[in-house]
Amino acid sequence: MNRSLQVRELVTEFNTSGGVVRALDGISFDVRDNEAVGIVGESGSGKSTVVRSITKLLMPPGRVTAGTATFAGHSLLDLAEREIRRIRGKDIGFIAQNPFSALNPVTRIEKQFANIAKAHGEKPDASTRDRALQLLDSTGVNDPERVMRGYAHELSGGMAQRVVIAMALYLNPQLVIADEPTTALDLTVQRQVLDTLRRLTVESGRSMLIVTHDLGVVAKYCDRVIVMFRGNIVEQGDVSDVFVRPQHPYTISLLNSVIRPKNEASNVRPGTSASGSSAPGLPSAQLTEARRF
């Protein structure tokens, strides 16, 4: 079965006091099997609206008015709420920007894993508990047994995000969607969490769609990139192609906002890449540097 995500001509609008605002203006893209795709763009470009639209997590006054989103034979936008809830978690895992908003503050972590199993027709038992412990261990959670017995407020930001990643993978989804998953974390913890996310998704045979404002994250962890501006996709393609040979002026401006190392800035002419091509953009040496964080 084809497990790719296919989005075609997606339009999302918000009704406001000033009129209708079109947040997504007919965008199309794919996330293929076993690949990581990053969506980048400035605040307000529509990045988070994309993932919330296709998973039907968009809150009023937002609404999808046109387009299709297909995954594993399911037309996601046509599904009733009860049906889409079966897809979310089991086939598509979702990782929110703020892990504490995704965790119940008054319920032990172990109970929250059990609730996920119950919501998808599983009867929690010793095997489901063991699976949760294994996932917590694989995400780098210190002392999984203690964490299972505890509450969200007892966790650091990095540990909470690891727990949320484990929950997103608990039912073995094929596609994992992460919406700015490390914004509140310091750089060291951010890299650890993203290393874990990449290892447990693409390197384990899953696909990943990650929303981020950080070009370094996309350079290091993604195979392809989608660049958004004012509700439109202005450019998309392999990370190495788009970052070294960008075609759209907005992509070029994003890449030029990345600070170049001094020794590189003195060796590369403005408007050329490190390879000497005439297309302006991020020099290949800088792409390597971005991947190092």
Residue 149: φ, ψ to 5°: -80, -10
pLDDT of residue 279: 34
Q: Which two three-digit tokens encode residue 24? A: 């997504």
Find where tokens 């996309």 sit. Answer: 218
pLDDT of residue 259: 53
Cross-strand partners of 263: none
Residues near 141 by beta carbon (within 8 Å), at least 6 away in sequence: 147, 159, 162, 163, 166
pLDDT of residue 121: 85
Chain segment 145-165, per-residue pLDDT in tens? 999 999 999 999 999 999 999
Chain segment 97-128, per-residue pLDDT in tens? 889 999 999 999 999 999 999 988 888 888 88
Domain boundaries, the chain: 5-291
Question: CATH assignment of 5-291, given 3.40.50.300, 3.40.50.800, 3.40.390.10, 1.10.760.10?
Answer: 3.40.50.300
Q: Does the pLDDT of residue 272 top 50, yes or no?
A: no
Please, where are the H alpha helices in the chain? 47-54, 81-90, 99-102, 109-119, 126-138, 144-149, 157-169, 187-200, 215-221, 239-244, 249-256, 262-265, 284-291
C-alpha angle 160/165/171, rounded to 5°?
A: 135
Residues near 247 by beta carbon (within 8 Å), at least 6 away in sequence: 235, 279
pLDDT band at residue 264 under the 50/70/90 scheme: very low
Residue 7: φ, ψ to 5°: -115, 130
pLDDT of residue 244: 93
Q: Which two three-digit tokens encode residue 15? A: 């009704």
Provide the whole-model pTM.
0.85
Chain segment 80-91, per-residue pLDDT in tens? 998 998 899 899
187, 190, 195, 201: CA torsion to nearest 10: -150
- Considering the chain, what is the average pLDDT of its residues? 87
Q: Does the pLDDT of residue 274 top 90, yes or no?
A: no
Q: Are 213 and 26 in contact (CB under 8 A)?
A: no
C-alpha span between 271 and 269 (Å, rounded): 6
DSSP line for 23-74: EEEEEEEEE-TT-EEEEE--TTSSHHHHHHHHTT-PPTTEEEEEEEEEETTE
C-alpha span between 234 and 250 (Å, rounded): 8
